[in-house]
Amino acid sequence: MAEEEANSGFSQDEASSPDETPHNGSAASPPRKRKREKHEKTSCELCKARKVKCDRAEPACSWCARHNRTCVYLERQKPGSRIGFTLELEAKVNRIDALLQALGRRVEEHIAKDQPSASHASFSPSASNGQPSSHVEGLRQEANASTPARSSIVSSSPFVLSGSDGNVALHDGSRSLPQHQQSVGFSTSNAVQNQSTPSPGGFSVPPHAPSLLSPLAEFPPQDMVYTLVDLYFKHCNTWCPILDRKNTFTVFFGSTSLEEADRILLHAIVATTLRFFKDSRLPPDMRTHHHAVSRHAVQVYALEHVSIAALRALVIICLDELGTSNGPRGFNLLSLLAQYTRQLGLCEEVSVYLSTDTSDTPRAGPQRSVVAGRPETWIEDEGRRRLCWMVYLLDRYATIGTTNFDFMLDDGRMKRLLPCSYDLFSRNVPVETRSSVATTTQHGTVDYAVNKPENLGSFSYHCEILRIFSKVHDFLKAPIDVTIASDMASWRNTYRMLDGSLDHWLQSLPSEYNRISALCHSDPASRVANWFMLHSAYVVCVVRLHSPAAYPVVKSHIFVPSHYAMQRCLSAVQSLGDIVQDVSEANGLDLLGPPFAFSLWVAARLLLVHAATIGCPLDPRIDFFIETLTYVGQYWEVANTYARTLQRVVQRGRTGELGFAAMRKSAYELVTLTSSTRQSGLEQTSSQTATMSEIDSMDVFDFFNYPKVAEPVLNSSNAQTNLLLSQRISGPSGEALGKSNVPDPESDWFRFGTSFT
């Protein structure tokens, strides 16, 4: 379990009080000169930056040793140096004030020269409606404040204005400050932008985006940024393990300024983890501001750069979007992710990389994708592998929820080795893992070209089960005629094969998987979210595969419900409920992401389908699932959407407004109706108004509407469907769905076989 211990924990480290440990003297105290000896060192630089008490242990303090950080002690400054430092900062602020005034005059002169009739009144520093002048005036007022305030302004700003001969330029001012006072800086190559110009790709700059003269608005204060990055690794990187914690913190909070690509990655992390930030110093309006600014920065950068760095930041922003809504915006981001993954050649284990010169020689046609280039190290190669699999994972979860969409990353092209365990990745230990494509031998055993299961982790097994899930999705998306015996025999053979794949996958899991419930109640350092996410993926896959055989919406004399399939579904939902109970009691629900919320959504809907099909009372466990979704919804808004939809459907069923069987029938009819197509462009079209109740029914039951019938065709005479839905929705004896109709386990076609199998 080294992977999980290095990657997750249900509780954060508790911050102690600031470092205040004065050295008290005594009657026999040594001369003053000895008080400045080296053994009286200060706190380490990281503890000072975090305002945490440091125990000054050698060679590293306890906090740095526990978090595997580089511990640095600096000697005390000489007496009077802080005064000199303050005077130096005051002088810099005075220079900034003078240069800002010069900048304001140059802006006025430039605009007056181009637009003499109107520009002076619009951009004058004294104008009341000019936004640039308001920023200038704001910085002037800050520069004229007291000396302590000036010091904080300079130390928290990543930019300092400098110039000679009246020329104003931006440079990185953090280099002149001590390491513990540096803010999150970034390169200035793309810093100067005209905000009135529309960005490529149609993205518009939000009205509250930071301007050139307000760099402080780009990120929250440094201590908040540090906390946000830490929250990302606690709440997201456990189940989205594409970043190494140690390297990431070194890049973000090291001694050098950030390059543009690193700054964009930081924007993605800030936007995604603001939902977990509880500091009251950042009010809701500022959260909205920073979220919009960071999201916009990542999107614009991703549209202009096809690179690994852009893809990595875009994956994290996609987490934010899919955790907020399962609407079109998320699919737009997913399509961009899939396209970048293909363009960068990440779907295969490339052996030879082409290298090209940097000349801009025109080419007659599109160039083969060589953007990614050759990875310089194994950890870089593994990072790309994990990034590709994370795009695959997001694509699968988003597409499976729609039931009728195609995957954006084709399984046939996905030829990556599985990622290794996180502890091996973080320790930069090159290892072999397992091929993602298996072959079945003539003896029925599964064979892999590469197979080192000892190097696999929870993320590896998550990728494996999603490959099985992809086959299930494609299998159930195809229509079938339930009245043809040969078609049903082929269908049942594929169904059994997929069920066997699930069983084989389950048996291949390490022993830790069987102890996840116990781990949840053991030492907090061993409580991990990634194994719970893995279990939820297994539950969703089981329900998706077996629910068509357990609760078919269309029945015939050769396609009847399976008791075995029904028990598999109910057992999976029960196991998920037990896991959720364990995690809830351990206060760990905030560590589980949108895929876990999706599993709750699937499990709750299965209970509704069971009640609608069998005609039994609704299982009260659905209330627990709804409550859990509501709790998770305070972090991931999509869970709130699931909870509210379920609440409305459950309330209608329990109050007698509309029975669950009637809701399922309504959903089937509406989906079938809207799936119909015209045979001629001259045929008439029609529209039908759907109520909120009907929309809710489709959201809940369409996932379980199987088997899919062949594409319905509209009757050209009256634009109505020619399907006999009332007959198709009933069984061979005419009994309607909703009456007590538990399948007979003694004649189950799955377990014992029939003449049609």
Task: List Cβ neighbours of 318 (8 Å cut-off, separation of 6 or more).
Answer: 330, 333, 334, 337, 394
Most confidently modeled of 247-251, 315-319, 428-432, 714-718? Answer: 315-319
Q: Mean of the pLDDT values across residues 271-282? A: 93
Is it the case that residue 7 has pLDDT exceeding 90?
no
Q: What is the pLDDT of residues 596-628, one digit of tens each?
A: 999 999 999 999 999 999 989 999 999 999 999
Q: How far apart are CA 741 and CA 563, in angstroms?
A: 11
Cis peptide before 59 (omega within 30 of 0): yes
pLDDT for the residue numbered 2: 45
CB 291 within 8 A of CB 282: no
- pLDDT greater than 90 at residue 648: yes
* Those residues with Cβ within 8 angstroms of residue 465's Cβ, 6 or more apart along the chain or in another chain: 502, 505, 534, 537, 538, 541
CA nearest neighbour of 337 among 374, 370, 312? 312
Residues with Cβ within 8 Å of residue 749, at least 6 apart in sequence: 492, 560, 562, 756, 757
The per-residue pLDDT for 23 is: 39
Mean pLDDT check: name the lowest of 322-326, 344-348, 748-752: 748-752
Which of helix, strand or coil describes residue 134?
A: helix
Alpha helices (runs of H) in 508-615, residue ranges in sequence order:
516-520, 530-550, 563-585, 594-614
For residue 236, the 8-state DSSP code is: T
pLDDT band at 421; cut points 50, 70, 90: very high
pLDDT recorded at residue 674: 83
pLDDT confidence of residue 523: 56
Above 60 in pLDDT, residue 119? no
User: Distance between CA 350 and CA 415 in Å, rounded?
Assistant: 10
Name 465's bridge partners: none
Asked which of 184-188, 428-432, 475-479, 534-538 is least confident by mean pLDDT, the reply is 184-188
Given this model, what pLDDT does residue 680 score? 85
Task: Output the pLDDT for position 526.
Answer: 54
Chain position carrying tokens 């029945």: 555
What average pLDDT is seen over the chain?
Answer: 74
Give percent above pLDDT 90 in the chain: 38
Q: Which of 373-382, 386-395, 400-409, 662-671 has the largest mean confidence?
A: 386-395
- Candidate from 1-15, 408-422, 696-710 with smallest mean pLDDT: 1-15
For strand 159-164 and strand 167-172, is the pairing parallel, antiparallel, or unpaired? antiparallel
The pLDDT score that the predictor gives to residue 433 is: 92
CA-nearest of 264, 278, 180 to 234 is: 278
Mean pLDDT confidence for 396-421: 88
| pLDDT for residue 640 is more than 60 | yes
pTM: 0.70
Let me know: does 71 contact 44? Beta carbons within 8 Å: yes
Which one, of 203, 171, 238, 178, lies nearest residue 526 by Cα?
Answer: 238
The burial of 322, by beta-carbon neighbours within 10 Å (0-12 exposed, 13-18 middle, 19 or more buried), is given as: buried
371-380's contacts with Cβ under 8 Å and 24+ in sequence apart are 371/306, 371/307, 371/343, 371/344, 372/307, 372/308, 372/344, 372/345, 372/346, 377/428, 378/428, 378/430, 379/244, 379/425, 379/428
Q: How far is CA 636 from CA 282, 324, 530, in A?
A: 19, 6, 17
Q: Where is pLDDT greater, at 352 or 460? A: 460
Rounded-to-integer distance, Cα 636 and Cα 642, Å: 11
The residue type found at 659 is G
Hey, what are 695's tokens?
A: 């929309």
Give the pLDDT score at 77: 56
Alpha-carbon distance 74 to 40, whole Å? Answer: 11
Rounded distance between C-alpha atoms, residue 597 and residue 323, angstroms: 9
d(CA 321, CA 339): 18
What pLDDT, on the 0 to 100 scale, is given for residue 204?
A: 37
Give the tokens for residue 551. 């609760």
**Which residue's entry shows tokens 């007056």?**
112
Please give the Cα distance from 65 to 58 (Å, whole number).
Answer: 10
Quote the CA–CA distance of 287 and 285 in Å, as a whole number: 5
* Region of poorest pLDDT, from 25-34, 180-189, 549-558: 180-189
Tell me, letter by letter, the H, E, C secondary structure of 194-226.
Answer: CCCCCCHHHCCCCCCCCCCCCHHHCCCCHHHHH
Average pLDDT over residues 321-335: 90
Q: In the prediction, which pLDDT does 181 show? A: 36
The rounded distance, in Å, linking the Cα atoms of 757 and 750 is 9
Cα–chain center distance at 681? 42
Collapsing DSSP states into helix, strand and coil, what is residue 123? helix
Res 326 pLDDT > 90 = no
Report residue 28 as tokens. Answer: 């026999």
Q: Convert the pLDDT of each residue in 70-112 to its tens digit.
A: 888 877 655 544 444 565 666 667 667 667 777 766 676 666 6
Give the number of residues written for the chain: 757
The pair of three-digit structure tokens given for residue 30, joined into one six-digit string: 């040594």
The pLDDT of residue 682: 87
> Do residues 346 and 384 touch, judged by C-beta distance below 8 A?
yes
State the amino acid at position 117 in one-letter form.
Answer: S
DSSP state of 345: T
Higher pLDDT, 494 or 32: 494
Question: Residue 723 — pLDDT band, cuts 50, 70, 90?
Answer: very low
Four-CA torsion 134, 137, 143, 146, nearest 10 degrees: -100
pLDDT tier, 442 (very low <50, low <70, confident <90, very high otherwise): low
Greater confidence (376 vs 148) lies with 376
Higher confidence at residue 397 or residue 716?
A: 397
**pLDDT score recorded for residue 708:** 73
Between CA 227 and CA 50 the distance in angstroms is 9
Residue 269's pLDDT band, with cuts at 50, 70 and 90, is very high
Distance CA 158, CA 262 (A): 14
- CB atoms near residue 716 (< 10 Å): 12
Cis preceding linkage at 732, omega within 30: no
Rounded to whole angstroms, the Cα distance separating 738 from 21 reads 73
How far is it, in rounded angstroms, from Cα 291 to Cα 293? Answer: 6
- Are 461 and 392 contacting, i.e. CB atoms less than 8 angstroms apart? no
Using the predicted structure, report yes or no on whether residue 313 has a pLDDT greater than 90.
yes
For 280-314, b/e burial (b = at least 16 CB within 10 A) is eebeeeeeebbbbbbbbbbbbbbbebebbbbbbbb
**Sole residue written with tokens 């077996």:** 546
Q: Residue 218 to residues 137, 186, 210, 283: CA-CA distances in angstroms?
A: 19, 11, 6, 16
pLDDT band at 647 (very low <50, low <70, confident <90, very high): very high
**Distance, CA of 317 to CA of 309 (rounded, Å):** 13
CB-neighbour burial class of residue 151 (10 A; exposed 0-12, middle 13-18, buried 19+) = buried
